A and B are shown apart, each in its own frame.
Chain A
Amino acid sequence: QVQLVESGGALVKPGGSLRLSCAASRFTFSDYYMSWIRQAPGKGLEWVSYISSGGGDIQYADSVKGRFTISRDNAKNSLYLQMNNLRAEDTAVYYCAKDGGYSGYAFDYWGQGTLVTVSS
């Protein structure tokens, strides 16, 4: 069974930085697009960013563009999200998700999430 395990969530002050990691296993990581999706407290799901299998196609939500950087290391089966200049509104559970390879993006596996809290 596919496994995605996020880590790196923490309490950080506004303006601070954090790096999230997602360890993938039990599938050929290098074959699939991957995404970060978040859920703020009491809110719905919000897509944050995706990266193609080889890393050449990267997109961000407008809310994080210029502050967050997605990357991957296919040799380590790992996905990352570098978050800089964090704001209170970035407080959320962050999920990594595997694209299913279907038309139009659908995430067939998700991790359990890691909590990022931005507060002074």
Chain B
Amino acid sequence: QSALTQPASVSGSPGQSITISCTRTSSDVGTYNLVSWYQHIPGKAPKLMIYEATTRPSGVSNRFSASQSGNTASLTISGLQAEDEADYYCSLYVSSSLLFGGGTKLTVL
């Protein structure tokens, strides 16, 4: 059972904002400010969207932002576009291994 819990699905209309949560379910789960986020469109290579909890790699749209509060990290996508429809995963390095959340399917209505 994953120690990182994400909602199975979220949806929003074009132009709206959505937030995907990633909740640490175990108190000893690593350094939580090192969460990363990935976008995965089926059939394509996953893409890094956020690293070190809040930092966007070069080339990632500033519509993507992230934050953290207590045991929950969050990815926010503003100004939703059809191309944002994908699966999103949080990830965390813990005790010499890496955990992924179960993934959240984003549907753009």
Contact = CB atoms under 8 A, between A and B. Distances in A.
- Identify whether the interface residues of A are mostly helix, strand, loop, or mixed: strand
Contacts of B38: 45, 107
Contact of A103 (B34, B48, B91): B34
Nearest to B49: A106
A52 B102 CA distance: 26
Interface stretch (A16-24, A69-77, A78-86, A110-118): A110-118
B36 A105 contact: yes
B45 A110 contact: yes
Given A95-B45, A104-B34, A45 B40 contact: yes
Interface string B25-63: 000001100111010100011111001100101000000
A35 B102 CA distance: 19
A56 interface: no
B31 A104 contact: yes
A45 B46 contact: yes
Contact of B89 (A35, A45, A113): A45
Interface stretch (B9-17, B78-86, B92-100): B92-100
10 contacts: A35-B98, A44-B87, A44-B103, A47-B91, A59-B97, A102-B36, A106-B48, A106-B51, A106-B52, A107-B48
Interface of B: 30-31, 34-36, 38, 40, 44-48, 51-52, 55, 57, 87, 89, 91-93, 96-103
